[in-house]
């Protein structure tokens, strides 16, 4: 189930700090994300693949117990970055453009290098130090300008004061950029180390950086290397090639089963995110591979031919009868096609095969609620409560839970769930109004009352509405 959800602004307040930690192939992307506040994409299959990619790398980096999350950004460009020490952000374009698992794994290893090196905290220290230096420089420069004005000169000392302000700022800027370049080089080396420790090749990392280096050579021509936040492309790739080729795993290929999973996720992303004509160019009818069939089935259901889509999905299930995501797709197609009662059975099977994946449980809960059959109300509440307990940042779970509670006549819980959904969507005004109403319905001091009070008292997340 590919969901587009508004990303909580707390995780996207990137500033120069996160921009500096962005993958070097697209260093300006993180800043653009900050300005437009893009949504995230939620999908169990894609997220599980990324977790499987990063798990051994995080273990090698000593970060296995840090609960690092993978977040997929709704952006077609190739980029990945870390922003808060707890999440690795990956544009869906990075997955789509990575032809092999090893290519995206190399990118994730590089980002893990930033996390393992504590670059976020260290850069904060550098920025704080630079700020202090900047203030001192500006004070000294201002003093020189005041002295010039008092002495009756609007040129000599005043101009010297202006130079005293600008010159230290330029030195400080170059110092920070140099520090950031060093971080990128350190992350490259750490990434190769983690890949070698897990028996994987660094060739994918090299190939990715080399490809983007070739594309950026013209833009970098004539640039001052000391004014770039990342190493000059040719220098960086040369250094990476030297350490990557020294690994005994350089020529190791990806496991065919992993390659198939990678291709399936790429097909899914293409089908959901690209125009149908683009999908059919990528995956023409002459291509009988499982990923191609997956992409065409999704595109068919998305663009209105439910009967044909179901036939194609049934063919996928016949090919892989224990694939949870094929049953999830069948259930989603039926639910969105206005047949929620028929969606329940395949979604139950998808929940079972996926090990009770919360996002799939939410889809099942949605189907149970959408039947308008009160016989399913208690089951829907039970499933949705379990789902939001393990996946607390998906508004759809709380929205469906609110509807189920409303159907049962439990308006206190319905208001609370609606308030939680509104808060996660970034609508703090609505969240506070609903939570305030929920407080009047709960006995004072009960768990529901306390949760509602927390929402009423909570400060809006950065970027949320507070009116």
Map 420-438 to HEC letters.
HHHHHHCEHHHHHHHHHHH
Q: Are residues 92 and 38 in the same domain?
A: yes
3-class DSSP assignment, residue 202? coil
- Which of residues 264, 288, 321 is at a domain's end? 264
Q: State the chain's mean pLDDT as an integer.
A: 81
Q: Are residues 37 and 103 in the same domain?
A: yes
Residue 61 belongs to some domain of the structure: yes
Sign of the dihedral defined by the CA atoms of residues 129, 133, 136, 138, in that order: negative
Longest distance between any two alpha carbons in the chain, whole Å: 90
Q: Distance from first CA to last CA of the chain, Å, rounded?
A: 33
Q: Are residues 110 and 26 in the same domain?
A: yes
Residue 171 belongs to some domain of the structure: no
pLDDT tens column, 185-227: 888 889 999 999 999 999 999 888 888 776 654 344 444 433 3
What is the pTM assigned to this prediction? 0.78
Mean pLDDT to the nearest integer, 170-178: 51
pLDDT tens column, 115-146: 887 755 555 555 555 555 554 454 555 555 44
Residue 133 belongs to some domain of the structure: no
Q: Are residues 224 and 253 in the same domain?
A: yes
In total, how many domains does the chain have?
A: 2
Most confident of 11-20, 58-67, 173-182, 338-347: 338-347
- Given a cut of 60, whether residue 173 has pLDDT beyond it is no
Mean pLDDT to the nearest integer, 388-403: 95
Distance CA 461, CA 467 (A): 13
Where in the sequence is the domain holding 278, given as residue range(s)? 274-313
Q: Are residues 194 and 232 in the same domain?
A: yes
Q: Are residues 99 and 193 in the same domain?
A: yes
Mean pLDDT to the nearest integer, 292-318: 96
């Amino acid at each position: 189930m590919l969901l587009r959800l508004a990303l909580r602004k707390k995780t996207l307040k990137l500033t120069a700090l996160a921009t500096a930690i962005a993958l070097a192939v697209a260093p300006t992307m993180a800043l653009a994300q900050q300005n437009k506040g893009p949504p995230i994409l939620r999908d169990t299959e894609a997220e599980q693949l990324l977790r499987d990619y990063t798990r051994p790398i995080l273990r090698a980096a000593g970060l296995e117990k840090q609960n690092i999350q993978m977040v997929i950004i709704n952006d077609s460009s190739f980029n990945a970055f870390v922003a808060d020490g707890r999440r690795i952000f990956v544009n869906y374009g990075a997955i789509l453009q990575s032809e092999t698992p090893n290519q995206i794994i190399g990118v994730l290893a590089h980002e893990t290098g930033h996390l393992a090196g504590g670059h976020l905290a260290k850069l904060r220290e550098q920025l704080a130090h630079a700020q202090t230096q900047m203030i001192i420089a500006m004070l000294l420069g201002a003093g020189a300008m005041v002295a010039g004005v008092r002495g009756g000169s609007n040129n000599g000392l005043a101009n010297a004061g202006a130079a005293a302000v600008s010159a230290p700022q330029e030195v400080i800027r170059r110092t920070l950029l140099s520090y950031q370049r060093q971080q990128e080089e350190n992350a490259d080396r750490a990434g190769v180390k983690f890949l070698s420790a897990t028996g994987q090749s660094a060739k994918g990392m090299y190939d990715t950086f080399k490809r983007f280096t070739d594309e950026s050579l013209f833009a970098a021509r004539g640039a001052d290397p000391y004014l770039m936040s990342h190493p000059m492309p040719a220098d960086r790739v040369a250094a990476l090639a030297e350490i990557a080729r020294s690994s005994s795993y350089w020529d190791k290929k990806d496991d065919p089963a992993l390659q198939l999973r990678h291709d399936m996720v790429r097909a899914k992303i293409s089908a959901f995110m690209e125009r149908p004509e683009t999908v059919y160019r990528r995956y023409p009818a002459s291509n009988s591979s499982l990923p191609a069939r997956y992409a065409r089935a999704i595109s068919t259901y998305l663009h209105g031919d439910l009967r044909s889509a179901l036939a194609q999905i049934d063919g996928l299930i016949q090919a892989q009868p224990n694939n949870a995501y094929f049953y999830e797709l069948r259930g989603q197609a039926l639910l969105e096609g206005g047949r929620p009662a028929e969606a329940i059975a395949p979604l139950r099977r998808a929940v079972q095969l996926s090990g009770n994946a919360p996002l799939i449980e939410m889809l099942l809960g949605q189907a149970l609620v959408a039947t308008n059959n009160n016989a399913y109300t208690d089951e829907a509440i039970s499933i949705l409560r379990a789902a939001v307990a393990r996946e607390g940042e998906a508004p759809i779970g709380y929205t469906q839970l609110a509807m189920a509670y409303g159907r049962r006549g439990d308006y206190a819980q319905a208001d609370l769930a609606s308030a939680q959904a509104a808060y996660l969507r970034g609508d703090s005004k609505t969240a506070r109004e609903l939570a305030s109403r929920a407080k009047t319905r709960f006995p004072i001091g009960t768990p529901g009352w306390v949760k509602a009070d927390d929402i009423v008292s909570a400060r809006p997340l950065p970027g949320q509405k507070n009116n």
